[in-house]
């Protein structure tokens, strides 16, 4: 067999330069930091035909940390993708006691001076301390000889690490030889390329960490804004990821082809964390409105005081009538007793209505109106000591002469808060929102609020609550997301849509929504049903929540396929075990809610 022709020095050099270009391209494309560092060292070893090598990275506390260690002949492979932890202590760049530069170690010297160090034989070196190397050799029977130590400088000429190669080998004989003067510039060029690639990756990682931390900060701030929704922005992502994983794991059925790449997972995580970012625009008193009369405070206390005034006025009228001899005392006392008892009963009814726990039937609303027209006398100016904004609303009508007789419950003009903006997000055609906008921004009228048919929110406040999802979309669509995060606004902005097109803010139907957006809708609903921190409702048990969601599935409000997966995969139970109170977790017979068993 013909012997392979040996390459000339010029051919070797050309081949090395080609390989260097190929390595540079590969380094710039690598996304995983561990693989990137490993590639740097392995390619340097191959270019120089070295038996071993170490890659160090400079730490914030000015040390060189071992990142990758390889010695082929000893079968040593640590760090990187091996999963084997490197237990060697870091190389100190400075003496911790004196602060003096540590130039006794060859790696730290290269890291301090920024100059390459080529040592033909470590045992002959007088400039560096190789006592540790000698001890290693004694234990292993190895002979550490030639060293090439090269600093790694980024594009700002800052040293970010050190690349050290050990024992160059003759290609023909395998004999350990010094690193040649020809190979050193190639390794230095590789180290420079590697440093830039690694620095870029570290900068990208730092930017990603900053973005992640900022997003989590926003989510935490939204939860912290309201003591009653604390943790919502943390729990929804957890449940979203659980259900998304179950969908990816599905082997058959309508979700069998669903899968998420690493970038897709990150995109969904960001979306889930930001799904309620628009709530920063929602007033706390609307988010937290636990009673019908609550704004910054619960105005039931103000109404209670008025009732007290009316009762005192009734007693004063009685005492005046007795003193003036205007009737039979016993009869007057009986009338007073009846009057006071009715006022007590009326207030108890108003107080109960304020809770918002029961449906307000028409006859109950009529009684609110009747009680509202009970009269009381105000003798003090109600325009003193108030804010400028409230005074502006009061000044819409001329002040009455005092004393003035007023209704016990009032729907005054100053209770009306008009919209100051010309348009609201819901009317912006650019975003394709489809919500009816109430004429008023807010209506603080007392009888008006007490007559809310169900719950504690007026139509205006309900719109303001719903507005948070529009603000979320507006805010997120303004951000210059990179290509792999382009769907964040869609995912985050769809969790209040319904499969039948009756949701908001765009009235999308199932076909208009991606699977991740539908997953988030289920996660948001289930978290809300089971949450223990809402002021306006008691937390539902596991079985109650699943039952409610089964009705939502039948009404095509949530995705039926995902709901069944939610049950059959056990995600509902997994989430419950992590986040629900023990007394909420009860037995659920999922067979009642599965399509094939109905």
Contact status, residue 184 vs residue 118, Cβ threshold 8 Å: yes
Residue 57 bridge partners (DSSP)? 65, 161
pLDDT of amino acid 200: 79
According to DSSP, residue 582 is labeled: G
CB 457 within 8 A of CB 294: no
Give the pLDDT confidence of 161-200 residue by residue, as tens digits: 999 999 999 988 999 999 998 889 888 888 888 778 788 7
Give 549-582 pLDDT, tens digit per residue: 999 999 999 999 999 999 999 999 999 999 998 9
Binning pLDDT at 50, 70 and 90, where does residue 6 land?
A: low
Statement: residue 595 has pLDDT above 80? no
Predicted pLDDT at 1: 43
Interhelix angle 300-323/329-355, rounded to 10 degrees, is: 180
Q: What is the pLDDT of residues 66-119, one digit of tens each?
A: 999 999 999 999 998 898 999 899 999 998 888 899 999 999 999 999 999 999
Of 171-180, 189-198, 273-282, 457-466, which gets the smallest average pLDDT? 189-198
Q: What is the mean pLDDT of residues 491-517?
A: 93
Share of the chain above pLDDT 90, in %: 63
Query: Is there a contact between 461 and 289 (Cβ–Cβ < 8 Å)?
Result: yes
| Structure tokens given for 593 | 């809610």
pLDDT band at 431 (very low <50, low <70, confident <90, very high): confident
pLDDT band at 503 (very low <50, low <70, confident <90, very high): very high
Split at pLDDT 50, 70, 90, the class of 598 is: very low
Which helix (H) or strand (E) element contains residue 52? strand 50-58
CB count in 10 Å sphere of residue 6: 9
Contact 70, 52 (CB under 8 A): yes
Q: How many residues comprise the chain?
A: 598
Q: Which comes out higher in pLDDT, residue 216 or 361?
A: 361
281-290-341 Cα angle (round to 5): 145
Residue 83 has what pLDDT? 86
For residue 328, CA distances in Å to 316, 319, 513 come to 16, 12, 76
Asked if 567 and 546 touch (Cβ cutoff 8 Å), the reply is yes
The pLDDT score that the predictor gives to residue 222 is: 77
Choice among 24-33, 415-424, 521-530, 583-592 with the minimum mean pLDDT = 24-33
* 443, burial (CB in 10 Å: exposed 0-12, middle 13-18, buried 19+): middle
* Strand 91-92 with 76-79, pairing: unpaired
For CA atoms 217, 221, 222, 224, give the dihedral sign: positive
Asked whether residue 17 carries a pLDDT value surpassing 60, the answer given is: no
- CA torsion 465-471-473-476 (nearest 10°) is -140
- What domains can be seen in the chain, in order of their start residue? 9-205 (3.30.450.40), 228-280+465-597 (1.10.3210.10), 300-417 (no CATH)
Lowest mean pLDDT among 41-45, 239-243, 440-444, 484-488: 41-45
What is the token pair recorded at 431? 């975003």
User: Above 90 in pLDDT, residue 7?
Assistant: no
Q: Is the dihedral of CA 53, 57, 58, 61 positive or negative?
A: negative
CA dist., res. 7 & res. 497, Å (int): 68
First-to-final CA distance of the chain: 77
pLDDT band at 204 (very low <50, low <70, confident <90, very high): confident
Q: How many CA atoms lie within 13 A of 469 on its CB side?
A: 24
Strand partners, 407: 375
pTM: 0.73
Identify the bridge partners of residue 153 per DSSP, sorted by sequence position.
Answer: 159
Nearest to 233 by CA among 492, 589, 587: 492
Q: Which of 553, 551, 545 is nearest to 588 (CA)?
A: 545
More confident call, 69 vs 290: 69
Question: What's the mean pLDDT when you consider all of the chain?
Answer: 88
Look at residue 239 and tell me whether its pLDDT is greater than 90.
yes
Structure confidence at residue 355 as a pLDDT band (50, 70, 90): very high
Tokens of 169: 């080998």
Mean pLDDT for the stretch of residues 464-477: 90
User: Strand, coil or helix: what is 70?
Assistant: strand
Residue 404: strand pairing partners: 378
User: Bigger pLDDT: 17 or 211?
Assistant: 211
47 in Cβ contact with 168 (< 8 Å): no
* pLDDT above 80: residue 228: no
Confidence check: pLDDT of 152 > 50: yes
pLDDT score, position 432: 82
11-15, 212-216, 528-532: least confidently modelled range: 11-15
- The Cα-based distances of 585 to 461, 552, 577, 591 in angstroms read 33, 21, 8, 18
Mean pLDDT in residue range 500-517: 93
Number of H helices, E strands in the chain: 19, 12
Per-residue DSSP letter, 298: B
Q: Is 169 helix (H, G, I), strand (E, B) or coil?
A: strand
For the ranges 75-84, 276-285, 406-415, 468-477, the lowest mean pLDDT is seen at 276-285
Percent of the chain scored above 70 by pLDDT? 91
Average pLDDT for 425-448: 84
Q: State mean pLDDT over 273-300.
A: 88
Give the pLDDT of residue 519: 96
Q: What is the biggest distance separating any 2 CA atoms in the chain, rounded to whole angstroms?
A: 140
- The DSSP H or E segment spanning 58 is strand 50-58
For residue 153, the SS3 value is strand
pLDDT surpassing 80 at residue 3? no
Q: Is the pLDDT of residue 330 over 70?
A: yes
The pLDDT value recorded for residue 428 is 67
């Amino acid at each position: 067999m013909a012997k392979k022709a040996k390459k000339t020095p010029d051919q070797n050099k050309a081949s090395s330069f080609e390989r260097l270009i190929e390595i540079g391209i590969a380094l710039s494309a690598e996304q995983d930091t561990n693989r990137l560092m490993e590639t740097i060292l392995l390619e340097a070893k191959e270019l120089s035909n070295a038996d071993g090598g170490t890659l160090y990275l400079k730490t914030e506390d000015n040390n060189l940390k071992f990142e990758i260690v390889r010695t082929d002949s000893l079968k040593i492979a640590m760090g990187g993708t091996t999963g084997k932890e490197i237990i060697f202590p870091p190389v100190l760049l400075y003496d911790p006691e004196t602060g003096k530069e540590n130039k006794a170690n060859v790696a730290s010297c290269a890291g301090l001076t920024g100059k390459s160090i080529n040592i033909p034989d470590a045992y002959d070196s007088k400039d560096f301390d190789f006592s540790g190397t000698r001890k290693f050799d004694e234990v292993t029977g190895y002979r550490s000889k030639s060293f090439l130590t090269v600093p790694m400088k980024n594009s700002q000429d800052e040293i970010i690490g050190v690349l050290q190669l050990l024992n160059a080998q003759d290609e023909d004989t395998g004999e350990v030889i010094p690193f040649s003067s020809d190979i050193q510039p190639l390794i230095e060029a590789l180290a420079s390329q590697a440093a830039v690639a690694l620095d870029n990756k570290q900068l990208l990682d730092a930017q990603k960490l900053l973005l992640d931390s900022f997003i989590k900060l926003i989510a935490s701030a939204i939860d912290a804004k309201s003591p009653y929704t604390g943790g919502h922005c943390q729990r929804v992502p957890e449940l979203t990821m659980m259900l998304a994983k179950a969908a990816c794991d599905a082997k058959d059925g309508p979700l069998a082809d669903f899968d998420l790449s690493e970038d897709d997972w990150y995109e969904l995580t960001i979306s889930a964390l930001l799904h309620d970012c628009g709530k920063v625009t929602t007033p706390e008193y609307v988010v937290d409105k636990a009673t019908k009369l609550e704004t910054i405070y619960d105005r039931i206390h103000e109404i209670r005081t008025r009732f007290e005034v009316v009762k005192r006025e009734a007693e004063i009228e009685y005492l005046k009538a007795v003193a003036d001899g205007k009737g039979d005392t016993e009869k007057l006392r009986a009338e007073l007793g009846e009057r006071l008892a009715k006022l007590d009963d009326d207030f108890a009814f108003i107080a109960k209505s304020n809770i918002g726990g029961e449906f307000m039937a028409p006859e109950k609303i009529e009684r609110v109106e009747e009680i509202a027209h009970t009269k009381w006398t105000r003798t003090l100016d109600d325009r003193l000591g108030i804010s400028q904004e409230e005074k502006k609303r009061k000044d819409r009508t001329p002040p009455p002469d005092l004393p003035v007789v007023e209704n016990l419950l009032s729907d005054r003009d100053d209770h009306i808060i008009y919209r100051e903006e010309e348009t609201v997000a819901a009317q912006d055609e650019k975003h394709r929102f489809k919500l009816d906008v109430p004429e008023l921004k807010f209506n603080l009228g007392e009888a008006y609020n007490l007559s809310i048919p169900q719950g504690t929110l007026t139509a205006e406040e309900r719109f303001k609550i719903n507005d948070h999802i529009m603000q979320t979309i507006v805010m997120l669509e303004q951000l210059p997301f990179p290509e792999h995060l382009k769907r964040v606004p869609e995912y985050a902005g769809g969790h209040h849509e319904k499969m039948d097109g009756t949701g908001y803010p765009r009235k999308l139907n199932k076909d208009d929504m991606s699977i991740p957006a539908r997953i988030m809708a289920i996660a948001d609903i289930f978290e809300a049903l089971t949450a223990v921190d809402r002021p306006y409702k008691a937390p539902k048990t596991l079985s109650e929540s699943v039952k409610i969601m089964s009705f939502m599935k039948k009404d095509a409000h949530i995705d039926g396929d995902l709901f069944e997966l939610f049950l059959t995969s056990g995600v509902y139970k997994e989430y419950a075990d992590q986040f629900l109170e023990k007394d909420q977790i009860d037995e659920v017979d999922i067979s009642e809610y599965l399509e094939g068993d109905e």
